[in-house]
Amino acid sequence: MRIHVKNSYSVVNPKKAIDSFGTLTTPHMFTRVFGEDTWEDGWIDQRHSIELDPSAFVLHYAGNVFEGMKAIRTVDGNVNIIRPHEHAMRFNRSCDRMVAPEMPEPEFIEAIDALVHIDNGFVPDSNEGAYCYIRPNIIATTPALGLNPPAEFLFYIILSPSKPFFGANPAPQSLLAVDQARAHPGGTGQAKTGGNYAGSLLFKKRARDHGHIEALYIDQNQVTETGAANFYMIKDGVFITPPLNGFEGKSGVILQGITRKSILEILPDLNIPVSERAITLDELLTGITTGNVTEMGIMGTAAVIQPIKTIAYDRGTYTVASQQLGTITSAVRNHLLNIYRGIEEDKHNWLHPVTAASLSMVYQER
Ligand SMILES: Cc1ncc(COP(=O)(O)O)c(C=O)c1O
């Protein structure tokens, strides 16, 4: 892919303090238009507003697909993207579901590399867990109110230097278990598309209004996940997380989390037994009451791994005995962050270095 760069400038030590997730931005963005069945060249320009016709498909029918991944600076200063191939594959699976054009995986990754390379100065030091969040997004721009597969799309990438969602040393939090579906079997739950998230906000708000960080979706007594992170519990020393193929033959309910996948890959390295199997709400609440469930948590790019101490459900609260991070949760968390930061060996090949060498950028004067 040819990438044109215009109006670019470099900032070596941005001075703004990073104290949250997703609020700071970097100076540049990547854009690429799809129309007449082809992808045009890519552009890197200063971050700017997007002009859309008021009838653009995305504004009415939520035609979009997005991804969320990280660039992290290792302790010796190099910048790596975490598992971009996995994100590219998930992006394209989501695009298929939402009738958006796929982007060839090497081009998706090259676009990210190019933008992160140009805004490299905004990838923070990774002490305290800071990183640069990468948000690719594709929106259907076709101006027509008829509900038909759109033909025109805009793909763009923006970056946001961030801190982990729940802080560098996350205190255990509580979830509100709700008998609601974030996604429906056979629906769009395995696609990262905006409507899934907009639809979940009512329950997130309800949870927040009662002092919980998120809703935990219970579908016919089965524990699924939260609005933007996968769930696990430690029961009798085993790390247990619901399977992605749903339950009773139903698929598409739980998002195929890449942090979840990474954690399942490192658990054997840490000699922690693991099981991907269905968890009923009864099993979870009983296990907390009897003390067999010793730790719980949620996993995702923004949260990394966040311990949960309490599940609130139907006027009851169920709290695990340990109010701390938990031995297994903290071992997994440290191991993951140490691999990201280049302290532990990257033996599963998750880190993708950002180097100028592979980039086909054409610089243009103003
Ligand atoms: C619904 C949902 N579940 C789980 C996750 C965790 O996925 P990942 O680890 O790839 O960020 C996310 C975030 O992307 C999500 O939106």
Sequence-distant (6+) residues with CB within 8 A of 217 are 178, 180, 181, 182, 200, 203, 224, 225, 226, 227
Q: Which atom of ligand 1 is nearest to the CA of 261?
A: 9
Contact 47, 7 (CB under 8 A): no
For ligand 1, atom 4: residue with the closest CA:
229
The CATH number covering residue 93 comes to: 3.30.470.10
Average pLDDT, the chain: 92
What are the tens digits of pLDDT across the range 74-102?
999 999 999 999 999 999 999 999 999 99
What are 110-138's pLDDT values in tens digits? Answer: 999 999 999 999 999 888 789 999 999 99
Cα of 31 from ligand 1 centre, angstroms: 24
Q: Among 70, 91, 301, which residue has the most ligand 1 atoms within 8 Å of its CB, making it the best to mutate?
A: 301
What confidence tier does 69 reach under pLDDT thresholds 50, 70, 90?
very high
Which has the higher per-residue pLDDT, 203 or 165?
203
Task: With CA atoms as reference, report the closest residue to 246 among 182, 298, 308.
Answer: 182
Pocket test for ligand 1, best of 89, 166, 255 (most atoms within 8 A of CB): 255
**In a shared domain, residues 144 and 194:** no
- Pairing of β 274-276 and β 131-140: unpaired
User: Are 207 and 80 within one domain?
Assistant: no
243 CA distance to ligand 1 centroid (A)? Answer: 14
Residue 339 lies in a domain: no
Share of the chain above pLDDT 90, in %: 80
Examine the domain organization and report whether 23 and 66 are in the same domain: yes
Look at residues 182, 193, 272 and name the one whose alpha carbon lies nearest to residue 233.
272
Q: Is residue 297 part of a domain?
A: yes
Same domain, 356 and 315: no
Return the SS3 of 115. Answer: helix
Domains identified in the chain, total number: 2
Predicted confidence (pLDDT) at residue 17 exceeds the cutoff of 80: no
N-term to C-term CA, the chain: 21
Shared-domain flag, residues 213 and 290:
yes
CA of 230 from ligand 1 middle (Å) equals 6
Q: Which residues line ligand 1 (CB under 6 A)?
A: 68, 225, 228-230, 255, 257-260, 300-301
pLDDT of residue 226: 97
Is 331 part of any domain? no
pLDDT of 251 strictly over 60: yes
Token pair for 270: 């840490």
- Report the separation in Å between the CA atom of 242 and the middle of ligand 1, taken as the mean of its atom positions: 14
- Closest of 126, 288, 329, 310 to residue 210, by C-alpha: 310
Helix axis angle for 84-97 and 258-266, nearest 10°, is: 140
Q: What is the pLDDT of residue 138?
A: 98
Residue 281 lies in a domain: yes
Tens of pLDDT, residues 156-196: 999 999 987 777 678 899 999 999 999 988 889 999 999 99
- Is 247 found in the same domain as 107? no
Residue 51 lies in a domain: yes
Distance 284 CA to ligand 1 centre (A): 21
The more confidently predicted of residues 239 and 184 is: 239
Say whether both 39 and 145 belong to one domain: yes
With the most atoms of ligand 1 within 8 angstroms of its CB, the residue from 165, 217, 224, 230 to mutate is 230
Q: Is residue 329 part of a domain?
A: no
Q: Do 79 and 219 reside in the same domain of the chain? A: no
What's the CA-to-centroid distance between 188 and ligand 1, angstroms? Answer: 14
Q: Is the pLDDT of residue 358 over 70?
A: no
Atom of ligand 1 nearest to the CA of 301: 11
The listed range with the strongest mean pLDDT (240-254, 270-284, 351-365) is: 270-284
280 C-alpha to ligand 1 centroid (Å): 21
E strand residue ranges, 266-303: 274-276, 293-300
Is residue 14 predicted with pLDDT exceeding 70? no
361 pLDDT above the threshold of 80? no
In a domain, 342, yes or no: no
Residues 138 and 232 in one domain: no
Q: Which atom of ligand 1 is nearest to the CA of 259?
A: 9
Residue 333 domain-assigned (yes or no)? no
* Cβ 161 vs Cβ 21: under 8 Å: no
Measured CA to CA, the distance from residue 186 to residue 170 in angstroms comes to: 35
Q: Can you give the residue range of the structural domain that contains 203? A: 173-324
Query: Which residues contact residue 106 at a Cβ distance below 8 angstroms, ignoring those fewer than 6 apart?
Result: none
- 188 lies in the same domain as 151: no
Alpha-carbon span 193 to 296, nearest angstrom: 27
What is the atom index within ligand 1 of the atom nearest the CA of 258? 10
Q: Ligand 1 centroid vs 84 CA: distance in angstroms?
A: 14
Q: Does 205 lie in the same domain as 255?
A: yes
Which of 21, 197, 259, 263 for a ligand 1 pocket mutation test, highest count of atoms within 8 Å of Cβ? 259
pLDDT number for residue 215 = 98
**% of residues, the chain, pLDDT over 70:** 94
Secondary structure letter of residue 127 according to DSSP: G
Ligand 1 atom index nearest CA of 262: 9
Are residue 179 and residue 317 in the same domain, yes or no? yes
Distance CA 170, CA 264 (A): 21
Query: pLDDT of 275-322, one tens digit each?
Result: 999 999 999 999 999 999 999 999 999 888 999 999 999 989 999 987
CATH number of residue 186's parent domain? 3.20.10.10
